[in-house]
Structure 1
Amino acid sequence: MPAPSATYAFLGPEGTFTEAALLKVPGAAQASRVPASNVNVALDTVRAGSADAAMVPIENSVEGGVTATLDAIATGPELRIVREVLVPISFVLVARRGVRLQDIRRVSTHDHAWAQCRLWLDANLPGAEYVPGSSTAAAALGLLEEDCHYDAAICAPLVAQEQPKLSALAEDIGDNSGAVTRFILVSRPGILPERTGADKTTVVVPLPEDRPGALMEILDQFASRGVNLSRIESRPTGQYLGHYFFSIDADGHLEDARVADALAGLHRISPATRFLGSYPRADNQETVVEPHTSDDVFEAAKKWVDGLRPQIGSPESGSGASPTA
C-alpha cells in the first residue's frame, strides 16, 4: 500500500464517486489528491511516477465492467491492484438555478450513469438528448461554463450541495436503489498485500488461439483446482477482429496453493497472461475452500510425488528392471 504521505490520482474532477471511493482509503483524506480527466490519464500518472496510486472504477452492479479501465490496465507497463472499494451510487438531476424540468432538452453525464437512470429519463424526460461526459462531476460543473451546450446533468448529490449556482431538480433518480460501483486502487508493481482469507486475484488472459475449447481450457485451470471466479469478461484486444482477452477475478490469493497452481496452468497455455494483483475483498467475505483444494492437501500431494522421484532410474542402473525379467 502507498504510504500515508502518498500522492493519489483519481478520475476527476472533485466530487466524483471515484473521489468518494478514494477518501475511504486510510490516510487519503490528508494526502495529496490529483484529479485526472479520464482513466488512462490517471493510470499513466502512476506509471510515470507522478502519483503513487490511482483510484478508478472497474465494475458496476447494474452495467457490469467499466471498459475504459479493463482495457487500460490490460496493456502498457504493468500495474497492480492493491485495494478495492465499494461505493453505493445515488444520482440527482441538476441544472443552473432558474431552469425548470420542462426546459431541459439535453442532459450530460457519464455513460454508466445515463444507463442507470434510463427508466426515470424515459418517464420524465422522454425526448432528452444524451451528451456524453467524462464523469458525472465534470458534466455537472460544465453547466457553470458560459458556452455550455446542454441544460442539465446527472451527478452525485454532493456536487449539487457544494455548488450554489446549481439546484437539484430531482433526487434519487437511479433505476436501482441498491446500485453499487466497485473501484480499485492501482499502484506500480511492488509488495503484494498479505493474504487475509477474504481475498481476490485479478488476471488478464489473452485467448491464445480462437478454436473450439480454447476458453474451456482457461476455465479448467480454475475449476480443476477449486478456484471460484467472481467475474469474467471478454474484451477485444484491438489487434484484429475476433482477437480477445479475458479479464478475470478469482476468489483467493496468490499465496493460496490452489490459486498459484491455477496461475501456473494459465501461463502454460497463455504465456502472455498478466497478473494484476491479489488484494483483500471490500466485502470481507471469506473464501470457501473445499477440503481437497486446501493448502495442506496440495502440500501433501507434492510430498507424495517428490517421494516417488527417487524411484526413477535408467535400465543400465538396474533400478528399472522389468518384473518379468
Structure 2
Amino acid sequence: MTIDATEAAAAPLPRYAYLGPAGTFTEAALRQVVGPDEAQYLPQTDVGSAIEAVRSGAADRAVVAIESTVEGGVTATLDALAGGEPLVVLREVLVPVQFALAAAPGVRLADVTRVAAHPHAWVQCRRWLARTLPRAVHVPATSNTAPAALVAESLSLAPSDAPRPQLGFDAALVPPAALETYGLTALATDVADNPSAVTRFVVVGHPGEVPAPTGADKTTLVVHLPDNEAGALLAMLEQFAARGVNLSRIESRPIGDALGRYSFSIDAEGHITDERVGEAIMGLHRRCPYVRFLGSYPRADAVAPTVHVGTADADFVAARTWLRELREGRAT
C-alpha cells in the first residue's frame, strides 16, 4: 500500500513536549531533532510535565535535559524516568550553553540587584555574577526563558510612558536567542563560568523495537543494589567490568522508601545487542532486585567504545560454542 502526497499532508504532525516557553536551550535541542514545520511543539512548565505528557498521551515524545558538564545529571529527569510507566531514550543531542544577562530597555547594569534565573543557569554563572554583580540575589525561575516572557508581557501591558509593572527582578539570565524573541536588551553576553559548558538532552518516548546499533551507542539503565552491605556496589559494577563495558556516567539517587536506600542511574558504552552489554545486563538481572532498561541509542558525539581483547561479539560467540562442545563431549 502506498500513501500519496495528499494523505501524507493530512497525517497529524508528531507532538513533542519540551521545557518552554519559546527560546529555551531545550527548544534549541528540539530543533536539532525536528523542525517546527515537521512537528507540533508543546511547551511545558517543567521537565516532569514534559515527561508526563508522553505518559498521558498528550505528546508523542519529549525532549528533556539529562546531564550537563557543570552539574552532572539533571535529577528531575533521572527521577522521572526511574519510576512510573516505562519510557525509553531514543536519541541524544548536545547543546553548548552560554547566557546573556537581559533586561527591559532602559535598565542599566548598575541598576541590577535581583537576577531571575533557572537554578541550573545560576549555578553555571555564579562566579561571573559574584564578580560582576556582587550584591545581586537569585530569583528562581521555572525555565531559562520564563523571566524573559514575563518582561515581554509587562512591556506589552504598559504604555511606553507609564511605569513598568513590578516583576520581582531587575534582569534575567537567558539563552542568547531569547533576546530577539522577547525584545530584550543585553546587559552582558557570553555569560558563563565555563565557556565549554554543554548540556546533553534526550528524546524520550514509549518502548518499542530497539533501534539497530550504529557502532557508537549508549545504553541507559536504572539499577537497585541487591542489599545494603559492604561490597554490594562492587558486585554490581563487576557485571560491567568483567565483560569490558565502560560506564560513561553513574549517579546515585535516593529510592525514596527509606533512608540509606539508593538506586543508580547508569550510562554504559555500547548497545544492548552487543554481546558484552547484553551479558552485563543479564548479570544485573540475576544479581539485582530492580533493573530498568531506558534504551540503547546513538551517541551524539559518534565516539565508538574501546573493545578490549576477549570482549568482542565474536569472542563471546566462540566461548559459548566451545562450552557447548565441552558439554557434548566434542571438545577438550
Task: Name the residue aligned to 2:290.
Answer: 272
Task: Name the residue aligned to 1:314.
Answer: none
Per-residue CA distance 1:102-143 (angstroms, 9 max, x = gap): 111211111111011111100111111111111111122223
Q: Is the 8 A contact 2:126 2:193 kept in 1?
A: yes
Do residues 172 (structure 1) and 190 (structure 2) align?
yes
CA separation in 2, counterparts of 1:118 and 1:227?
36
Q: SS state of the match for residue 33, structure 2?
A: coil
Task: Name the residue aligned to 2:159.
Answer: none
Q: Is the 8 A contact 2:244 2:308 kept in 1?
A: yes
Q: What one-letter code is carried by the residue in structure 1 that aligns with 2:190?
A: D
CA separation in 1, counterparts of 2:128 and 2:262?
35
Task: Name the residue aligned to 1:151.
Answer: 170
Per-residue CA distance 1:132-165 (angstroms, 9 max, x = gap): 111111122223344511111101010012222x
CA separation in 2, counterparts of 1:274 and 1:98?
52
Task: Name the residue aligned to 2:316.
Answer: 298
Cα–Cα, structure 1 residues 97 and 85, in superposed 2: closer, same or farther, change >3 Å?
same
Q: Of 64, 70, 73, which aligns to 1:62?
A: 70
Cα–Cα, structure 1 residues 28 and 98, in superposed 2: closer, same or farther, change >3 Å?
closer
Do residues 233 (structure 1) and 251 (structure 2) align?
yes
Q: What one-letter code is carried by the residue in structure 1 that aligns with 2:130?
A: D
Q: SS state of the match for residue 254, structure 1?
A: coil
Q: Of 21, 24, 29, which aligns to 2:29?
A: 21
Task: Name the residue aligned to 1:142.
Answer: 150
Q: Is the 8 A contact 1:222 1:228 kept in 2?
A: yes
CA separation in 1, counterparts of 2:195 and 2:299?
23
Q: What one-letter code is carried by the residue in structure 2 that aligns with 1:289?
A: V
Q: What one-letter code is carried by the residue in structure 1 that aligns with 2:56?
A: A
CA separation in 2, counterparts of 1:4 and 1:168?
39
Greater than 3 Å deviation, 4+ residue runs: 26-29, 144-147
CA separation in 2, counterparts of 1:253 and 1:272?
20
Identity of aligned residues (%): 54
CA separation in 1, counterparts of 2:37 and 2:91?
16
Task: Name the residue aligned to 1:160.
Answer: 179
Do residues 48 (structure 1) and 62 (structure 2) align?
no
Cα–Cα, structure 1 residues 267 and 28, in superposed 2: closer, same or farther, change >3 Å?
farther
Q: Of 213, 221, 224, which aligns to 1:206?
A: 224
Q: SS state of the match for residue 9, structure 1?
A: strand
Offset at 1:28? 5.5
- Aligned residue pairs total 309
Q: What one-letter code is carried by the residue in structure 2 that aligns with 1:266?
A: L
Offset at 1:274? 0.5
Q: Is the 8 A contact 2:100 2:188 kept in 1?
A: yes
Moved more, 299-308 or 253-262: 299-308
Cα–Cα, structure 1 residues 41 and 246, in superposed 2: closer, same or farther, change >3 Å?
same
CA separation in 1, counterparts of 2:186 and 2:196?
21
Moved more, 215-224 or 301-310: 301-310
Do residues 31 (structure 1) and 39 (structure 2) align?
yes
RMSD: 1.6
How does 1:243-262 map onto structure 2 within 5 Å?
243-262=261-280
Task: Name the residue aligned to 2:160.
Answer: none
Cα–Cα, structure 1 residues 303 and 17, in superposed 2: closer, same or farther, change >3 Å?
same
Q: SS state of the match for residue 300, structure 1?
A: helix
Offset at 1:26? 4.1
Do residues 110 (structure 1) and 128 (structure 2) align?
no
Task: Name the residue aligned to 1:9.
Answer: 17
Cα–Cα, structure 1 residues 271 and 4, in superposed 2: closer, same or farther, change >3 Å?
farther
For structure 1, list consecutive stretches of 5 or more residues without a partner in the other structure: 312-325
Q: SS state of the match for residue 76, structure 2?
A: helix
CA separation in 1, counterparts of 2:250 and 2:310?
24
Q: SS state of the match for residue 136, structure 1?
A: coil
CA separation in 2, counterparts of 1:205 and 1:18?
27
Per-residue CA distance 1:77-109 (angstroms, 9 max, x = gap): 110100000001110001111111111121111
TM-score, length-scaled by structure 1: 0.92
TM-score, length-scaled by structure 2: 0.90
Offset at 1:208? 2.5
CA separation in 2, counterparts of 1:47 and 1:221?
31
For structure 2, list consecutive stretches of 5 or more residues without a partner in the other structure: 1-10, 155-164
Q: SS state of the match for residue 282, structure 2?
A: helix
